[in-house]
């Protein structure tokens, strides 16, 4: 059975309660986020869209399969023409002797047909459609990769901020304990007449402020972990989440490999495949003006309620008394569509140039982002080292001031100034280490490879 500790405020004092078996906490590490984010609904939606785009390739290739359509029709219409009326689409037209005059008496007519249509030769149009579908599938895949990469980056960034806030909670709690110790010491010194009673009141005021700072940090921490559970699709409440990688807030990240080429970046690959889609669309538009070859075959039986002599026999209209079949070939060429196709080609050429310009801009952006991220990383490492020195010096100074206050050498104001400087140095140290790890994460994001960051975790 797990035991958890909960601090509550009772009569102005924090009391620690032990709660057994209240909830099952889940330990989360940064490396684990890379896989957890994949189950996030937004990422899963992008994945399903990518998988759906693959079927466009199969449908484009499937156009080589002949079309076979069967149908049955029954109607009731005038017999000014022997076949009467039929719904268009399945029945190929048939010529026949007209009636000798306008006769408006309705007679039944039926037809059963099977129509085969095949386009075995498309003069490159089918291949262009397959290439376009393939490019669109790659685009959907690159969009998924970019969405996953962006979500993983946000999850790690949020995790780091949560670890930082957790470190602040420890600093604020330590500040409360220092203030409480000072309050108790001031009471003793006041009773002995070594310190004025006003020091006790001032300590109480500082203690109340320290507790408010802790409560504010707790609220921020709760909100940050809530955001982390959303990004990583984690069930449960923030109280059920335990951050495991907390030691990084007090250690320096080691050197990072920055040799990754921008062409491997998910953003570059997305715009690269976007350009390939425009190239495929331009090719497809250029082949739209090519001839079309259709092979067809038709077989059907019909029935008519009037014979060739004009005699009406409605019973024959419901029987399939006449059988017909036929086959043929058709070569068509859209002569007057040249202007429209030419306009489409000009449009796609401009879209292609736009995609090329966007790709050049993305390349430039990523290169500058790498340079800036590397510089910031180096600078933040130097800042973190100085923050560590400052924190150690502030701690030594406060210990000395505390002894001086107990000896009557310094007053309350000087002691509180030292305590404030210690708290500021502790939070500054945590912030400096956070910025160093943030800089490494930015460097990994600029290189399009989050393992540049995760590989440095111990």
pLDDT > 60? residue 47: yes
| 395 and 368 belong to one structural domain | yes
| 232 and 348 belong to one structural domain | yes
SS (HEC) of 261-284 = CHHHCHHHHHHHHHHHHHHHHHHH
Domain of 202, CATH number, reads 1.20.1600.10
Of 58-62, 195-199, 441-445, the least confident: 195-199
In a domain, 17, yes or no: no
In a domain, 52, yes or no: no
Q: What is the pLDDT of residue 99?
A: 60
**185 or 141: whose pLDDT is higher?**
141
| 140 and 217 belong to one structural domain | yes
pLDDT bin (cut points 50, 70, 90) of residue 9 is very low
| 224 and 250 belong to one structural domain | yes
| 417 and 443 belong to one structural domain | yes
pLDDT > 60? residue 18: no
CA-to-CA dists, residue 140 to 266, 363, 391, angstroms: 12, 20, 50
In a domain, 51, yes or no: no
pLDDT > 80? residue 352: yes
**140 or 310: whose pLDDT is higher?**
140
| 389 and 409 belong to one structural domain | yes
Q: What is the pLDDT of residue 14?
A: 41
Note whether 82 and 304 are within 8 A (CB): yes
pLDDT > 50? residue 248: yes
Query: 173 phi and psi, to 5 degrees?
Result: -65, -40
In a domain, 88, yes or no: yes
Q: Return the SS3 of 195.
A: coil
The model's pTM is: 0.80
In a domain, 24, yes or no: no
What's the domain count of the chain?
2
Q: What is the pLDDT of residue 383?
A: 94
Domain that holds residue 133: 30-39+126-280+340-454
Q: What is the pLDDT of residue 92?
A: 62
Note whether 307 and 137 are within 8 A (CB): no
| 354 and 446 belong to one structural domain | yes
In a domain, 152, yes or no: yes
In a domain, 56, yes or no: no
Mean pLDDT of 67-82: 75
Instruction: Note the pLDDT tens digit of each residue in 256-294.
Output: 666 678 999 999 999 999 999 999 999 999 888 888 888
| 116 and 130 belong to one structural domain | no
In a domain, 59, yes or no: no
pLDDT > 50? residue 13: no
| 405 and 419 belong to one structural domain | yes
| 220 and 322 belong to one structural domain | no
Mean residue pLDDT across the chain: 84
| 271 and 139 belong to one structural domain | yes
| 231 and 323 belong to one structural domain | no
pLDDT > 90? residue 358: yes
Mean pLDDT of 205-228: 94
């Amino acid at each position: 059975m797990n035991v958890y500790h909960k601090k509550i405020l009772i009569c102005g004092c924090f009391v620690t309660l032990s709660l057994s078996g209240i909830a099952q906490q889940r330990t989360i590490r940064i490396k684990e986020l890379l896989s957890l984010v994949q189950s996030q609904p937004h990422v899963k939606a992008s994945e399903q869209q990518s998988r759906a785009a693959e079927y466009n390739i199969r449908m484009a290739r499937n156009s080589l399969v002949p079309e076979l359509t069967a149908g049955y029709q029954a109607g009731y219409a005038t017999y000014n023409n022997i076949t009467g009326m039929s719904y268009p689409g399945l029945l190929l037209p048939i010529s026949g002797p007209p009636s000798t005059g306008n006769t408006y008496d309705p007679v039944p007519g039926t037809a059963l047909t099977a129509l085969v249509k095949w386009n075995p030769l498309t003069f490159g149009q089918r291949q262009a459609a397959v290439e376009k579908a393939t490019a669109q599938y790659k685009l959907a895949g690159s969009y998924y990769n970019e969405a996953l990469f962006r979500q993983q980056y946000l999850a790690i960034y949020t995790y780091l901020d949560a670890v930082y806030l957790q470190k602040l909670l420890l600093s604020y709690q330590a500040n409360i304990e220092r203030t409480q110790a000072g309050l108790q010491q001031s009471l003793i010194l006041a009773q002995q007449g070594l310190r004025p009673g006003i020091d006790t009141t001032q300590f109480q005021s500082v203690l109340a402020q320290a507790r408010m700072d802790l409560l504010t940090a707790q609220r921020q921490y709760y909100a940050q972990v809530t955001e982390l559970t959303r990004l990583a699709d984690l069930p449960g409440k923030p109280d059920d989440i335990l951050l495991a990688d907390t030691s990084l807030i007090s250690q320096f990240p080691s050197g990072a490999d920055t040799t990754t080429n921008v062409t491997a970046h998910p953003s570059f690959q997305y715009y690269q495949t976007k350009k390939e889609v425009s190239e495929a669309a331009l090719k497809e538009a250029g082949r739209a003006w090519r001839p079309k070859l259709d092979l067809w075959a038709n077989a059907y039986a019909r029935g008519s309620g009037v014979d060739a002599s004009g005699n009406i026999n409605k019973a024959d209209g419901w029987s399939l008394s006449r059988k017909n079949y036929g086959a043929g070939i058709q070569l068509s060429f859209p002569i007057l569509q040249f202007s429209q196709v030419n306009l489409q080609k000009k449009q796609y050429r401009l879209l292609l140039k736009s995609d090329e310009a966007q790709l050049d801009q993305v390349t430039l952006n990523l290169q500058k982002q790498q340079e800036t991220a590397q510089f910031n990383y180096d600078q933040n490492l130097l800042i973190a080292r100085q923050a560590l020195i400052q924190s150690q010096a502030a701690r030594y100074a406060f210990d000395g001031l505390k002894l001086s206050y107990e000896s009557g050498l310094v007053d309350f104001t000087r002691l509180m100034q030292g305590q404030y400087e210690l708290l500021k140095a502790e939070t500054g140290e945590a912030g400096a280490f956070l910025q160093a790890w943030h800089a490494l994460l930015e460097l990994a994001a600029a290189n399009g490879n989050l393992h540049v960051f995760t590989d440095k975790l111990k």
